[in-house]
Amino acid sequence: MADATAPAAPPAKDTPPHTTRRSPLRRLLARPEVGALVGAIVVYLFFFAVAPPFRQLDSLATVLYQASTIGIVALPVALLMIGGEFDLSAGVAVITSALTASELSWQLTQNIWVGVFAALAVSLAVGALNGFLLMRTGLPSFLVTLGTFLMLQGLNLAVTKLLTGNVATDSISNMDGFNQARKVFASTVDIGGVDVKITVLWWLGFAVIATWVLLRTKFGNWIFAVGGDRASARSVGVPVGFTKIALFMSVGFAAWFVGMNQLFSFDTVQSGEGVGNEFLYIIAAVIGGCLLTGGYGSAVGAVIGAFIFGMVTQGIVYANWNPDWFKFFLGVMLLAATLVNLWVRRQATRR
Amino acid sequence: MERTRTRSRRTVAVVAACAAGLLMVSGCASAHGGKAAQQRAAALAAGHANTPRIKIAMITHSAPGDTFWDLVRKGAQTAASKDNVDLIYASDPNSANQANLVQNAIDQKVDGIAVTLADPNAMKNVVAEAEKKGIPVVGLNAGETAWQSEKLLEFFGQDESIAGEAFGRKLNSTGAHHDLCVIHEQGNVSLEQRCAGIKKTFKGKTDILYVNGADMPSVKSTITAKLQQDHSIDVVATLGAPFALTAVQAVSDAGSKAKVATFDLNQDLVNGIKAGSIEFAVDQQPYLQGYLAIDGLWLYKYNGNFSGGGTQPVLTGPAFVDKSNVATIAKFAANGTR
Amino acid sequence: MSETTPEGSGDFEPELTGSSTEQAPIVELRGAGKSYGNVLALHGVDLAVRPGTVTCVLGDNGAGKSTLIKIISGLHQHTEGDYLIDGEPVRLANPREALARGIATVYQDLATVPLMPVWRNFFLGSELTRGVWPLRRLDIARMKATCEEELRRMGIALNDMERPIGSLSGGQRQSVAIARAVYFGARVLILDEPTAALGVKQSGVVLKYIAAARDRGLGVIFITHNPHHAFMVGDHFSVLRLGTLELSAARADITLDQLTHHMSGGAELDALKHELAQVAGVDTGKAPDAER
């Protein structure tokens, strides 16, 4: 019963060439964000060539601002997709958060920060509710969050109308704490002579954190596992419910942050806004290499996806093209991104 | 340096205090703004008719939460409470759904219907059916070219193209050479008509820019991008009040000297005009449209009156609001009725 | 956390069923059974799993194999007889409790996540970390090294721990799952039909690892319906039939032919052959004794 009889001795037959180290190129291609990165470079060079104003650093700052407001939410949405779920309520949740902060401060005549933190609590609660309903009912997240999406949309409008009599909130720009909050959520930073919106810095900061969490922590491992194979994850002791609820709450957090940016950039909030943005977040994540079926993707990819989205949106304007075609280009990009992902996935799982 | 540090330390303190303040709300009361500062003017309230209660439906093509349509509805509500009318308000931007809503009103046997003809063809059948059932139908806002052929009783509104043309002429008087017409909902007929109207009368060059109206940061960066791309733009025309205020930010972000003018009004816009950040606004008086439509049906029911003799529309605009008359408008806008 | 070696043995031998010269069983069933409502799924089963041995449980579909696994792995509770772990009667509430006592189950679906790298799969749910919260992070270098070493000890040679486990062959994946269970302190390993979906060559790979696990001192419960596979590695054979134990024999007391005969229905099959011959004149002389 010693190791002598262990089959370690002649493993030659069991290690045919396919178990040898994969080539570096193959390994690189297996990274989820590679397809998106290639796409981003192509799109950048393309607009760099055809649109002279696009070459200015100021223009890049504008592109980045657009990308950041999509990208901040796209990050947790990407993690959530890796975890195997969708959140269709993210777009209107941004507005819900902004409305909460604005209305609470204004109606009760409180310092802005009271509203800001109350909005955070509400946003996290919405995320937790999504996750809880998902785990409790066993319905697909597509359905659960479609429900919350519609509910929030209705609440946004109805509660705003109820409180203000209007469909938009009152301006809070002269209230205490507004200027501080604006510094945090919506100021502009001078970087080398270029005015960069602070959301861009937050976005990149969040991206670093999200990447670290995804690849370097236990929780990140669990995200891949619950999205890749929920039953397997559960059977080896991964807390599936906790992981999913936490992911939904992180989407809530991002929605809160972008909601605050919106509130402090524009002073007021239109209650009907945000509809449709949930798809932009998902598009950014998918372009960035997240699989719709879960279990695969990256946070960096979502950053690149949002950046591509920003470049195309603004690039068409810089190039002074007929904007009627914008949606068409977006559609082409989404399809192409999905095909690249499919191909990459095949490469990754090929024997 | 030292000062910045103290300030940031104070910021942290306030933030922390206010986090705690969620429990003890009164500790963080804002000294400025907020509801406490709002002086609510007495709601518009006229006398009260003693005619028997009737039911009138207003069916529009508004998207939910639209500022403009909110004003139309408020006007209608005011007229309804004055005239002892039970107002049913419903809207759907999808024309087929809007037609269904009209059918719904017919099924409820209402005493009158006010409807927008954003897509006249889609509404033709249901309007004809209402007329067959003897329900008077009036038009408002959209459909100035179609209301007669569909035999509507009367029409309250302003042709979008005419408003656009007036806007263009007004721009000529400001000495602008190149304007950017910002459409916040791609494919919306009335918005396209406004821009087309501007293009027709404006002597300079007109560019059209589509933005995603449901996403303000995107609106801002797209306008910024356009201004960075084309430095010759010297006026930005937006088609809704909230977008004008965003355009002002975009202009400053892009370092452009362009002026901003807009369609429609709201309270913040009035402040913008006062402060000079917005050149002017053209107002088609949505409140008036809603009010007149309901009042018109009521008058028809109890006194047989109808405006325009079935051939002339009742125009509610264009009315210009600029620095010269903003003061008188301001107090009404503050009530959310202008 | 390193591999668990079998408990010190031989010092005290309580009187037990079966031969008494071997080590004390880790897991033992005495007349165990399970009924779901009125349906009796399992009845009067005796089974003893000793360290360093492979106990094969054979039986056709519906013979009660899966009920037996579910009882041992803590998924279901027995309704009659006794279930002892280390000689002490237990009633397990859930699989986690079984795992805590060193009883690990490798199911057919393997509980791996196909798109995740081998090392992440290996440590899934029990990741090694370093640092303090909020900077507590995965100790990737250690996990990769441990994973590689553990796999090598089981005779699995993989150079690239970053490969998605889905890109391994069925036999290799099965083996990684076994290595994982061994590493995480399993004393008893329950393998549910590990060779069922595999070809001859891959089955051989898995059988090799079963032997490797046994040689490392684990008690292995090998569930299968293939007597040939069972006979290659088994030390003790239990054949289930209609929820009861038809045969329980040590390797020394049985031949492959006998095992195959019992497995395929034994006496009943003889009767069936006879009947068929009478009814249709089927040439039963050449009818195989077993399915495989």
Secondary structure of A262-326 in the HEC alphabet?
HHHHHCCCECCCCCCHHHHHHHHHHHCCCCCCCCCCCHHHHHHHHHHHHHHHHHHHHCCCCHHHH
Measured CA distances, C76 to C30, C36, C222 (Å) = 16, 10, 19
Q: Do B14 and A111 touch (CB under 8 A)?
A: yes
Identify the H or E element spanning B6. Answer: helix B2-21
Q: Shortest CB distance from C157 goes to which of A2, A14, A231?
A: A14
Question: Does the residue B76 lie in any domain?
Answer: yes
In sequence order, the 6+-apart residues with CB closer than 8 A to the CB of B73 are: B58, B89, B290
Q: In chain B, which residue's Cα lies nearest the Cα of A258? A: B217
- Short-list B286, B279, B203, B200, CA closest to B247: B279
User: How big, in percent rounded to 5, are the helix, strand and coil portions of chain B?
Assistant: 50, 15, 35
Question: In this complex, do A216 and C137 lie within 8 Å of one another by their Cβ atoms?
Answer: yes
Assign B156 to helix, strand or coil.
strand
In chain A, which ranges are continuous DSSP H helix?
24-29, 34-50, 57-82, 90-107, 112-137, 141-164, 178-186, 198-216, 218-228, 230-235, 240-266, 277-287, 299-318, 326-349
- Residue B249 shares a structural domain with residue B194: yes
Instruction: Give C208's contacts in chain A (Cβ within 8 Å).
Output: 7
Strand B54-60: give its sheet, edge to edge: B85-91, B54-60, B112-115, B137-141, B155-157, B314-315
Q: Is residue B331 part of a domain?
A: no
For Cα atoms A228, C152, C158, give the angle at the middle one, nearest 5 degrees. 50
Share of chain C above pLDDT 70, in %: 85
Q: What is the pLDDT of residue B34?
A: 66
> Which residues on neighbouring strands pair with residue A328, listed in sequence order?
none
Model pLDDT, residue A153: 92
How far is it, in rounded angstroms, from Cα A317 to Cα C68?
Answer: 68
Number of A–B residue contacts, CB under 8 Å: 198
Amino acid at A322: N
Instruction: Using a threshold of 3 CB pairs under 8 A, tell whether chains B and A touch.
Output: yes
Q: How far is A32 from chain B (nearest CA, A)?
A: 27
Dig out the tokens for A29 from the structure: 């291609």
Q: How far is CA B265 from CA A77, A263, B63, B198, in A?
A: 37, 20, 18, 18
Q: Do the domain assignments include residue B46? A: no
Model confidence at A87: pLDDT above 50: yes
pLDDT, residue C4, reads: 41
Q: CA of A59 to nearest chain C CA: how many angstroms apart?
A: 37
Has residue B323 been placed in a domain?
no
User: Do residues B138 and B214 share a domain?
Assistant: no
Question: Out of A198-202, A288-292, C131-135, C271-275, which region has the weakest mean confidence (pLDDT)?
Answer: C271-275
Check if the beta carbon of residue C259 is closer than 8 Å to that of residue C81: no
Chain A and chain C touch, per 3+ beta carbon pairs within 8 A: yes
Q: Distance between CA atoms of A194 and A234, rounded to whole angstroms?
A: 49
How many angstroms separate the CA of residue A278 from the nearest CA in chain C? 26
**B38: which chain A residues are within 8 Å (Cβ-Cβ)?**
170
Residue B164 and residue B197 in one domain: yes
Query: pLDDT of B166-221, one tens digit each?
Result: 999 999 998 899 999 999 987 777 788 899 999 999 999 999 998 988 889 999 99
Q: Identify whether residues B79 and B137 lie together within a single domain.
A: yes
Check if the beta carbon of residue C159 is closer than 8 Å to that of residue A21. yes
Q: Which of residues 49-108 of A touch B (CB under 8 A)?
A: 51, 53, 56, 58-59, 62-63, 65-66, 69-70, 105-108
* Pair B174, B312 in one domain: no
Nearest CA in chain C to A297: C115
CATH of the domain at B83: 3.40.50.2300
- Which of A104, A270, A313, A322 to mutate: most B Cβ within 10 Å? A270
Measured between CB atoms, which of B38, B216, B226 is closest to A317? B226
Q: Return the H-helix or E-strand segment holding C173.
A: helix C170-183
DSSP structure class, residue C130? E
In angstroms, the separation between the Cα of residue C242 and the nearest Cα of chain A is: 29
Helical (H) or strand (E) element with B329? helix B326-334
Distance CA A266, CA A272 (A): 15
Average pLDDT over residues B286-297: 93
Q: Which homologous superfamily is C27-114+184-254 in?
A: P-loop containing nucleotide triphosphate hydrolases (3.40.50.300)
Are the CB atoms for B251 and B260 separated by under 8 Å? Answer: yes
Q: 153-172 in A: which are within 8 Å (CB) of B?
A: 153, 156-157, 160-161, 164-168, 170-172
Mean pLDDT of chain A: 86
Q: Is residue B32 part of a domain?
A: no
B277 part of a folded domain: yes
Partners of C95 on chain A (C-beta within 8 Å) are 235
B308-318 residue pLDDT tens: 877 888 888 78
Q: Which long-range contacts (CB under 8 A, 24 or more apart) does B124-128 make?
A: B124/B150, B125/B99, B126/B99, B126/B102, B127/B102, B127/B151, B127/B152
CA neighbor of C60 nearest in space, from C280, C277, C273, C244: C244
Q: pLDDT of C176-215, one tens digit each?
A: 888 888 888 889 999 988 888 788 888 888 888 888 889 8
Q: Which amino acid is at C155?
A: G
> Both tokens of residue A113?
């920060």
Distance from CA of A205 to the nearest CA of B (A): 19
pLDDT score of B12: 56
Interface of A with C (CB under 8 A): 1-3, 5-9, 11, 14-15, 19-22, 27, 30, 212, 216-218, 220-221, 224-225, 228-229, 231-233, 235-238, 295-296, 345, 348-351
Lowest mean pLDDT of A91-105, B244-258, C109-123, name the range: C109-123
**How near does any CA of chain C get to the CA of A255, in Å?**
23
Burial B128-156 (b: 16+ CB within 10 A, else e): eebbeeebbbbbbbbbbebbbebebbbbb
Residue-level pLDDT at B76: 94
What three-state secondary structure class fits C189?
Answer: strand
Determine the pLDDT at residue A93. Answer: 96
Quote the distance between the C-alpha of residue A260 and its chain's center: 16
Would residue B42 count as lying in a domain? no
What does the pLDDT look like over B106-141, one tens digit per residue? 888 899 999 998 878 888 888 998 999 999 999 998
What's phi and psi for B115, nearest 5 deg? -140, 150
Asked whether A240 and A219 are in contact (CB, 8 A), the reply is no
At least 3 CB pairs under 8 A between chains C and B: no
Per-domain residue ranges of chain C: 27-114+184-254, 255-292
CB atoms within 10 A of CB C85: 20
- Cis check for the bond before C134: say yes or no (omega within 30 of 0): yes
C226 token code pair = 């293939």
The DSSP string of B59-81 is EE-PPTT-HHHHHHHHHHHHHHH
C124 touches chain A (CB under 8 A): yes
Name the helix (H) or strand (E) containing B283.
strand B280-283
The model's confidence at residue C6, banded by pLDDT at 50, 70 and 90, is: very low
Is there a contact between A116 and A260 (Cβ–Cβ < 8 Å)? yes
Chain A contact present for C117, CB below 8 A = no
Name B210's bridge partners. Answer: B183
Which residue in chain A has the smallest CA separation from C151?
A8
DSSP C7: P
Looking from the CA of A170 toward its CB, the CA atoms found within 13 Å total 26
- Residue whose structure tokens are 């390993």: C189
A137, with CB counted inside 10 A (0-12, 13-18, 19+), is: exposed
Check pLDDT > 80 for residue A31: no
Q: Looking at the domain that runs over A32-337, which CATH code has it been given?
A: 1.10.3470
- What is residue B14's predicted lDDT score, i.e. its pLDDT? 53
Residues A287 and A304: beta-carbon distance below 8 Å: yes
Predicted local confidence at residue B17, as pLDDT: 52
| C-beta atoms surrounding C18 within 10 Å | 15
A77: confidence class by pLDDT, cuts 50, 70, 90: very high
User: What are the tokens at C81?
Assistant: 């007889």
Which pLDDT value is given to residue C290?
A: 42
Pick among C113, C159, C162 to test the A interface (most A CBs inside 10 A): C113
Quote the tokens at residue A74.
């796209």
The span from the CA of B298 to the CA of B305, in Å, is 9
Nearest chain A alpha carbon to B11 = A180
How far is residue C226's CA from residue C245's CA, in Å, rounded to a whole number? 17
The domain limits of chain A are: 32-337
What are the tens digits of pLDDT across the range C58-116?
988 778 888 898 899 888 889 999 999 999 999 888 877 888 888 988 876 667 888 89
Residues of A in contact with C116 (CB under 8 A): 221, 224-225, 228, 295
Residue C121 near residue C113, CB atoms below 8 Å? yes
Whether residue B14 is contained in a domain is answered as: no
pLDDT over 70, % of chain A: 87
Which backbone phi and psi does A46 adopt, to 5 degrees?
-60, -55
Q: CA B248, B251, B253: angle at the middle one, nearest 5?
A: 110
Q: Indicate the pLDDT class of residue C16, thresholds 50, 70 and 90.
A: very low
Q: Which of B34, B70, B213 sits opposite A175 (nearest CB)?
A: B34
Query: Do A109 and B221 lie within an 8 Å CB cutoff?
Result: no
Q: Are residues B66 and B153 in the same domain?
A: yes
Under an 8 A CB cutoff, do A221 and C157 touch?
Answer: no
Residue C43 dihedral angles phi and psi, to the nearest 5°: -150, 130
C277 touches chain A (CB under 8 A): no
| CB atoms C167 and A351 under 8 Å | yes
Total domains present in chain B = 2
Residue length of chain C: 292
> CB–CB of B237/B259 below 8 Å?
no
- Chain B contact present for A112, CB below 8 A: yes
Backbone CA torsion sign across A70, A153, B187, A170: negative
| Chain mean pLDDT for chain C | 81
One domain, residues B279 and B166: yes
Question: Side chain identity at C218, as an amino acid letter?
Answer: L
CA distance C33 to C67: 9
Token pair recorded at residue B269: 């816009």
Residue of B nearest to A119 (CA): B22
Measured between beta carbons, which residues in chain B are less than 8 angstroms from residue A111? 14, 18, 21, 28-30
Residues of A in contact with C211 (CB under 8 A): 5-7
What's the token pair of residue C184?
Answer: 């995480």
Nearest beta carbon to residue A217 from set C138, C172, C217: C138
Find the Cα–Cα–Cα–Cα dihedral C284, C285, C286, C287, rounded to 10°: 40
Beta bridge partners of B51: none
Helix (H, G, I), strand (E, B) or coil at C160: coil
* Distance from the Cα of residue A267 to its chain's centroid: 24
- C138 vs A221: CB contact, 8 Å cut-off? yes
